[in-house]
A and B are shown apart, each in its own frame.
Chain A
Amino acid sequence: MEEKRVLLRNRGKIDPENAREYIAAGGYEGLKRALNMNGEEIIKELEHAGLRGRGGAGFPTYRKLQFAYGAPGDVKYIVCNADEGEPGTNKDRILLSSDPCSIFEGMAIAGKAVNAHVGFIYLRAEYSYLVPILEAALKTSREANMLGENIQGSGFDFDIKLRSGAGAYVCGEETALFESIEGKRGEPRFRPPFPGIKGLFGKPTVLNNVETLANISVIFQNGWEWFRTLGTENSPGTKLFTVCGNVKRRGVFEFPMGINLKDLIYEVCGGMEEGHELLAVQTGGASGAIINASQIDMTLDIDQVSNSGGRLGCGTILVMDDRNCIIDIVRNNLDFFRGESCGKCTPCREGGTRLYQLITKISQGKGSVKDIDTIQDLAETMRLTALCGLGHSTAVPVLSSIQNFYSCYLRHIDKDYCPVCSEEGE
């Protein structure tokens, strides 16, 4: 199966630090077009395109712009969420390192739409080695007058500042990210007010994922009609998938939305390593559902994956073969969440730790079926009462694994020997 490289069209073909090469490849044409449009027209174009956020939630991008467009105030901000922390995801790293100007272009277009003049890129600390690339690309973009003052003689000013994280998954949550840029602990805020009204520094803010912004550029370069020819009705466009785990060929691949998960695993990635069989797939990262081998004949678009109880999220596909144990994987997920909970709200802080203790108990052969009930109760409480997405999604891998791998839970409760968990000890 051939990849459809739209966002990755320049990967390995241009010098990412040199905006002139991006321009020679047709880059910044979308911004030039948007400079001749007013805010309403730009937002209309995105509405027709049907672009939905690529960070995980799949929220319509034009609506975010609409909120900030309609909000009163002279100072507004565009924020690029480059705090790619979801375990198993590194597609934003590929975009940031191979074609950063396409992200700047999307930010500038969004800025033009809502009349914002400053954009921030919040880059996770684990990607600090990308800073020189981004700084060089910003500099050459300014030299080409695609950023800075009076862009292309239009009278519109827009510039971008880099801000760094320091290791906190929760900062991928939008309001936590704002707090972090403001020099505080990255703890999510209560909402409302929503970012479109009161975001960064209390000003109306549009926050988008790296991949979403790169999509804005191609929509304005090629028009919404063209964009609609890719992907599915409800999820137009392409998607970057990070495939990792026990497949022969791992990597970041770009396909139109709606590709079949089974084809992605077997045809694109070559299936399992020799002598092993597929055990499970987790889509959407640590906060995604874990499905079994019989469920992988699935269409990958935002709504279809949601309907099956999981989430497409940021497009992560973690493939696990028969050398793994689901209880061990869920325990690993929960260990992650209990460590990354910011501690602000009780359901997430205490619930995550309790879930981890319960799953550990089961993994050690000391659990009972009552523990599964407790886990389900607790997970549901967290889903309903936690402050932000982190606490809401902690439950997803747990609940989906109970549903799809119930016999595995029973085997551990029955004290059957598990080679993976018995080695874990503790």
Chain B
Amino acid sequence: MSNEEVYSYKTPSSQLVQIAEIASRYKGRPEMLMKVVIQTQKIVTAFSASVAAVIAREMDIPQTQVYSFITFYAMLSVKPRGKYIIRMCKSAPCHVKGAKEIVRALEDLLHIKMGETTEDKRFTLEYCPCLGICEQSPAIMINDRTYVNLTPESVREVVRCYIRDEVE
């Protein structure tokens, strides 16, 4: 996918309507952009050009500002991502406690590499900087839940629960 395609994919109009409703509450209040994008992320996992355009129009700010904002923060993305984003902590406290084996277990289980999304668009594997659960490393975060003191066996169990749709 080229950079342009990454940003120009289609977002269903029903979702755009919901996003417009959220953004319109903060018209003329550019400082609320963070709040808007965080709420938007509950509707879409990534920000296409059409999502950015809707936010820009409703908040009355330039679309480039929305784009520049989203591409700055690690937890926001213009690139499409899966329903579940599995974030593996890359920092030293996890590194020294076997993060590498956890990564291997995740990649083997989901048949994708770090940074990729499964074909069924359910899982994305990502590295992230410190999750702040260092005294229980190695740790991962799946959407906004954390899982700690992992071993290759236990992380497989955790992800299997998501594969089977056992997690709310």
Contacts and interface: CB of A to CB of B under 8 A. Distances in A.
Interface stretch (B14-22, B86-94, B108-116, B156-164): B86-94
Contacts of B93: 87-88, 244-245, 318
A183 B75 contact: no
Contacts of A126: 128, 130-132, 141
A129 B146 contact: yes
Contacts of A201: 31
Given A125-B73, A423-B100, 14 more contacts: A87-B91, A88-B92, A90-B133, A90-B135, A93-B132, A93-B133, A126-B130, A126-B131, A166-B76, A201-B31, A244-B134, A286-B91, A323-B96, A329-B92
Interface string B64-83: 00001100111110000000
Q: Which one of B33, B95, B133 has the highest number of Cβ atoms from chain A below 10 Å of its Cβ?
A: B95
A182 B136 CA distance: 34
Interface of B: 30-35, 37-38, 68-69, 72-76, 90-93, 95-97, 100, 128-137, 141, 144-146
Given A89-B134, A129-B146, A244-B134, A167 B73 contact: yes
Interface of B is mostly: mixed
Interface of A: 84-90, 92-93, 124-129, 163-169, 180-187, 201, 242-246, 250-252, 282, 286, 316, 318, 320, 323-324, 329, 332-333, 335-336, 339-340, 342, 423
Given A90-B135, A128-B144, A85 B73 contact: no
Nearest to B31: A183
Contact of B33 (A127, A129, A183): A183
Query: What are the 7 A-B residue pairs with the smallest beta carbon separation, nearest first?
Result: A167-B74, A87-B91, A166-B73, A167-B75, A183-B33, A87-B130, A185-B72
B77 to A, nearest CB: 10
Q: Which one of B34, B38, B100 has the highest number of Cβ atoms from chain A below 10 Å of its Cβ?
A: B34
B34 A127 contact: no
B134 A87 contact: yes
B91 A336 contact: yes
Contacts of A180: 34
Given A318-B92, A329-B92, A166 B34 contact: yes
Nearest to B61: A183
B134 A186 contact: no
Contacts of A250: 134-136
12 contacts: A87-B92, A88-B92, A128-B144, A165-B73, A166-B73, A168-B72, A168-B73, A244-B137, A250-B136, A336-B130, A339-B129, A423-B100
B135 A242 contact: yes
